[in-house]
Structure 1
Amino acid sequence: MVEAGDCAVCHTKPGGKYLAGGLPLVTPFGTLYTTNITPDIGTGIGNWSYPAFRRAMREGIARDGHYLYPAFPYVHYRRMTDGDISDAYAYLMSGPPVHSPSKQNQMSFPMNIRPLVFFWNLLFLHGNPIAANPDHSQAWNRGRYLVEGAGHCAACHSPLNLLGAEKSGERMAGGVVDGWHAPTLLGMAEGENPWTKDQLVSYLRAEVVVGHGTPAGPMRPVSLGLAKMEVSEVDSIAEYLLSLQGAPSAPSPEKGEPISAAYQKMGADLFQGSCAGCHGDAAPMRQIDGRPALAQTSALTANTSRNFIKTVLEGVPPAPGAPGPTMPAFANSLNNQQLTVLANYLRDQYKPGHAWTDLKTTLQELRPEAK
């Protein structure tokens, strides 16, 4: 349950001790720092009873009575069974204590007043433990439980309202997390580039999937955690996700004028110098299952340029102790003008005539200090 709930994803900062907290979470209301959930008595949850832990998971209230910010997804954890919450508590309490005091949050007014979360809870804290649906298979029900409960997929893959809650009626319809586009989870078995179950299981386990790519950004540590779970659990998640029906897909941007020959030459030169070593047709890595092929990767075919920009700037880190898949970051080697040329060139190559209309504004949002 701790892996399924992504506890380590938020409660372990890069280079930090496991579950000792300290990771900054940037929200529209300020920056939160995740807390220490090791069994350290002074700075962690070592003096928390099980009832106190269960109350935090179900009601978003800490041991001392203060309200937790809903960046902690108790809205979803409350849908877990008592047995699974108890198992998570037992696991956390069995780990090594780490002395790591929490950092002070930097929230703006009025969200720095924690008691106001009481009113947020009145509006948005609903739902009970998930009951099995007899009309579906055991695997589907298990997948639903993991997706809707511990996995809290909707927390990232849903648009949020002005108060930071998931928009009613648009759950799983896609969101934005740390500048990354979290795509819709609706209609994944349909559309221009549908997923198969085997593809989705492999992707969720941090593997490279021809036609879709590999998890990056905030999804990267989530998938590395899922890779530690039983394959049958991930298979159930995939079965449930692929059953979700989607609204009609948003249309691709209107066709624009083709880029000029001179612009193509500039883009091709940048690709040759920065990308072709792995992504070029003659690259050695392309001989391994044809990867990493760009023709159908969602970062290039999506209607937004967000994930292409973020992937190029930040790269894709390998799994700890594993050789790959990996991609270096280019934030220090490509300026905004070069990245714009490269993005337009590759978009024209793989989705010709559908230029990204958000490229300029998104790039300035994600790297405003760059020239």
Structure 2
Amino acid sequence: MIKKILVGLIGLGVIVLAAFLVIAWKPSIDSVDPPSEGEFSQEQIDRGEIIAGLGNCQTCHTTDQEQPYAGGLAMPTPFGTIYSTNITPDPETGIGQWSEEAFSRAMREGVSRSGAHLFPAFPYTHFTKMTDGDVADLYAYMMTREPIQAEAPENTLEFPFNIRLLQAGWKILFFDEGRYQADSSKSDTWNRGAYIAEGLGHCSACHTPRNQFGAEDESQAWEGTVINNWYAPALNGSNRSPVAWSEDDAYAYLRSGGSPHHGVAVGSMADVVHAGLGLAPDDDIRGLATWLAGLNPSDGADLAAQQAAEAINAASNKRTPSSLMGEGERIFAYACASCHYNDPDSPNALRPDMALNSAVFAPDPVNLIRVTLEGVSLEEGIPGAMMPAFGEALTDREVASLLAFLRSSQTDQPAWSDLEEQVRNQRQQ
């Protein structure tokens, strides 16, 4: 009887393995000659450039700004490091021999021209929502870039995560292939924003925590998480900032890089706003703003202004008499307040009041630590405005004291723990 059971289990295992291999195996797609000059219209190429921006393609596929899209960017994961690939039309190291069919399959199914499964660090789980027209336009744009011969470093994923065939199992569990389906109960503007945010822009790839298998945890959608050593804040009602996103605030932030009621775009988000969305038409930005405001509905600009004034006034009332100032408050008064004090009735996006800044309300202090140490460059935030770096002027203890003061005086949130150690770690990085 035991022997029969073992034989049965082995036979079942063989059947399951055979079925998996049938599902996992993908054929290669024949190579093609690189498209000739003039094969695509300029209008199509221009549309493709906008789509590439909405997908933030250049940021992930570029290490040297003089060699855009040549790949090689290291993306650390809990399973090892993945390097972005060369997506220029170089026939040897890039995608110059890829047909539009092969390109479309990679974008929307996560399978390369050779038939190998792509790792989900490439967000095909979102790009699957793209329309045929957008894929074709993006293909036209990529195939008309300057071919660059550059081989990406080998990935350093741990076994068994380095076995591409196993990605087919991951897809069975976590990948829903299919195009974007419009919500008939929403406006065209909202649907355009949702298509960009959920598809092209793959916003939840940064703003949603991931499970132990590296997939987005749908039970915590839009709850915010740390990624690339920046905190991508919650975009839904769990965001603790005192002012909810209105459409006008969201539009100003995504179009210019700053909002008077939330702060400025830095780090990875600065790349999204300035490098990614810079060429997008206003209709696309307005659509994104409408969609974003809908994740945590507010009563519009009037309520936002009221909430902002109340938050600034509440923080002002917490300030102690000058003779009782602690170290953090003294540093703020001498180094920060001249720029970051706002009139409650007219907050300034160029120099946001800290009682409104989302980084001060975040559950993780990494953004505030990094901005304090590194400053905000002229290319980040709102172009033309900058903040000096205080990394050399302040010690770890002084930065920690400053941030502890801001957390206690500007918010009603619990204190951050081990601030000095966190500052030290960020400084070392």
Q: Is the 8 A contact 1:315 1:326 kept in 2?
A: yes
| Counterpart amino acid of residue 353 in structure 2 | A
SS, match of residue 296 in structure 1: coil
Cα deviation 1:344-365 (Å, max 9, x = unaligned): 12223312x6442335387169
**Alignment correspondent of 2:284:** 233
1:177-196 to 2 correspondences below 5 Å: 177-187=227-237, 192-196=242-246
- Give the 5 Å matches for 1:216-227: 216-224=266-274, 225-227=276-278
* Structure 1 stretches lacking a partner, 5+ long: 247-257
Give the AA of the match of 2:173: L
Aligned to 1:363: 422
Structure 2 residue aligned with 1:310: 370
CA offset digits 1:123-155 (Å, max 9, x no partner): 111141012222221111111111111111111
What corresponds to 1:252 in structure 2?
Answer: none
Q: What one-letter code is carried by the residue in structure 1 that aligns with 2:398? A: Q
TM-score (norm 2): 0.74
Greater CA drift, 155-164 or 182-191? 182-191
Once the two structures are aligned, what percentage of the paired residues are identical?
Answer: 38
How do 1:125-136 residues align onto structure 2 when only pairs under 5 Å count?
125-136=175-186
Q: Which residue of 1 aligns with 2:386?
A: 326
Output the amino acid matched with 1:18. Answer: P
Equivalences for 1:126-165 in 2 at 5 Å? 126-165=176-215
> What aligned pairs does 1:3-42 form with structure 2 within 5 A after superposition?
3-13=53-63, 15-42=65-92
In the TM superposition, what is the alpha-carbon distance from 1:65 to its structure 2 partner? 2.1
| C-alpha distance in 1 between matches for 2:196 and 2:347 | 36
Given candidates 50, 57, 81, the residue that maps to 2:100 is 50
| 1:330-341 pair list within 5 angstroms | 330-341=390-401
Q: Secondary structure at the match of 2:377?
A: coil
Q: 1:86 deviation in Å?
A: 1.0
Tell me, yes or no, if the aligned pair for 2:128 and 2:199 is still in contact at 8 Å.
yes
Corresponding residue for residue 271 of structure 1? 332
Report how far residue 108 of structure 1 moved.
2.4
1:346/1:111 CA distance change after superposition, 3 Å: same
Cα gap change, 1:153 to 1:101, in 2 (>3 Å): same
Judged with a 3 Å threshold, the aligned counterparts in structure 2 of structure 1 residues 120 and 330 are, in CA distance, closer, same or farther, namely farther
For this pair of structures, how many residues does the alignment match? 355
Partner of 1:297: 357
Secondary structure of 1:94 counterpart: coil
**CA distance in 1 between partners of 2:189 and 2:349 (Å):** 30
User: In structure 2, what is the Cα distance between the partners aligned to 1:281 and 1:153?
Assistant: 31
The structure-2 alpha-carbon separation of the partners of 1:316 and 1:27, relative to structure 1 and needing over 3 Å to count, comes to: farther
Structure 2 unpaired stretches of 5+:
1-50, 298-318
Residues 55 and 263 (structure 1 numbering): CA distance in 2 closer, same or farther, change over 3 Å? Answer: farther
- Cα displacement (A) at 1:176: 1.6
CA distance in structure 2 between the aligned counterparts of 1:362 and 1:231, rounded to whole angstroms: 43
Q: Check conservation: 1:29, 1:108, Cα contact below 8 A.
A: yes
Hey, what's the Cα distance between the residues in 1 that align with 2:219 and 2:61?
30
Relative to 1, partners in 2 of residues 1:114 and 1:296: Cα closer, same or farther, differing over 3 Å? same
Distance 1:43 1:260 in 2: 65
Q: Distance in 1 between matches of 2:200 and 2:366?
A: 27
Name the one with the larger helix percent: 2
Greater CA drift, 41-50 or 307-316: 307-316
The answer to whether the Cα contact below 8 Å between 2:207 and 2:223 also exists between their aligned partners in 1 is yes
Q: What is the root-mean-square deviation in Å for CA atoms of aligned residues?
A: 3.1
**SS of the residue 2:111 aligns to:** coil
Q: Distance in 1 between matches of 2:213 and 2:420?
A: 24
Q: TM-score, normalised by structure 1?
A: 0.85
CA contact (8 A) 1:208 1:325 kept: no
Q: Determine if the alignment matches structure 1 residue 168 to structure 2 residue 218.
A: yes
1:58-77 pair list within 5 angstroms: 58-77=108-127
Q: Do the aligned partners of 1:305 and 1:356 also contact (CA within 8 Å) in 2?
A: no
C-alpha distance in 2, partners of 1:261/1:190? Answer: 29
Deviations 1:150-194, CA, capped at 9 Å, x for gaps: 111111111100011011322222222122221122239997311
State the distance in 1 between where 2:333 and 2:296 align.
40
| Structure-2 separation of matches of 1:243 and 1:280 | 30
Q: CA deviation at 1:45?
A: 1.1
